[in-house]
Structure 1
């Protein structure tokens, strides 16, 4: 089945042009979980229009930080679908996936949960960045002062957020409107800014709701307390081998400054893999969402660097903050 250029936002013409300009014989294709079902159709379409051979990554893909390094080594270009770039790379072609869900109705509905007398910070994801200005105009039309920011250097678009980076939130704004689908990004927003009113306008699922940041902060306090109760003799320091999650400087700092810490490298952190080690607790220097989203499910405590320092008495409890990626790779 041929995939038309307009379908699913896969930018077929752009990919074909890049392959031809580079004279590529081997091309890697990487899709996030929700788009993998389209992979064979994309390959069929590209094979009809080029002479290249295509290699589709079957590994999980959690974001622009999670590039398939084997494909990067063994093909001439990696086409990464569904995310905007967090860093320029001549070997990676980023192809965004744009949501076609209408936003007008859900945005106007969300204003009923906001205070029109206060500024509102508008944020969204790469999938909805093409309608950011439309959403801003809708809010202004409803009488709101809208503020936004470009965020850090891992963020390509105005008002964009990542699961590990919420620097586009304007600190002075007392309320935030998140335009996007799912709960993944709102949970991170709530943890990073628990003092703000956070309203979600979800055009994908056609619903509006608030997110309570304090709920997630309490969960993190509970996990730190669990680590202190264990009083670990051995801490495993988890270092990701993923290109966009590898924070060696943080891992090395912990190893250099704290006794009974042991470096463990992993491409993906799972409970099954941790079971094989005799550490009593872990410090995660990879994606912070491994800690905040999955940590309580692990048999042993899994903490961020700041949470670890609270657990061992190097920081006060009121210094707890959400672990984010603010820099480049």
Structure 2
């Protein structure tokens, strides 16, 4: 029988193994977040012993052995868009399901990145997922002193793989929908044009609008947020058009709220309205926005493919594209 423990002693993996009647190696495997071979009976005894002793694993010691810390950095500009909430809630859940945790690093500006580098701010992480378009791959590798960097912002180099939605497919379908409904003039309500993803998105809209013989009468710049869409829709710069294409659903919702009288009974009466992101809220009656989206489960599955097979990071500038789709709702 084990000797009584002093109240300020911290139980060790050896204590857990002794109480469970197994070796230290088996106790370690049973408590690992990774799938490790151990019988169900022994695993249960180890878990019970750990609970009884109040054992907490030493993550630092484990990281020295496994060369991992089970921590993933997610680098973002900010989180204020409805599409961010939809994506990141699912992403965090799936990363946790493989035994890892997430830290968010909010960049917000190119100057902030420089500040991180200047002050030597870094985290020991297994990989970094880069959504911020203020951060290039080389800079993120320096930030985290780690070559396992996955670019999700439309920027990549020969050393960093990337995953992006193939937006042309969905945009082409949305503009074709408008053209099929006799749309002859259109407006674009866009986000931050410095973003490579937004530049490509705007380019796709313009090329498809031209291809269908639709006249682009105005292009107004917002910041993807509901507030910017609402402000633009109420501004003197607003012009009449048969269709309005917004590069985020949040902006489209702001437009819809300003022009509710043009959508009586949620039907387009004066102009057709299209968003982008296919956020969950667009499925409800309050904001029935026709939108372009992509399967977030497929997108996140591709991300997990890199996190669970780190050797894939060594394949250089591989580009994975996730197809987009168009959903017609009553706003169009």
Give the TM-score band, short-chain normalised: 0.3 to 0.5
| Higher RCO, 1 vs 2 (CA within 8 Å, ≥6 residues apart) | 2
Higher helix share: 2
* TM superposition score normalised by structure 2: 0.33
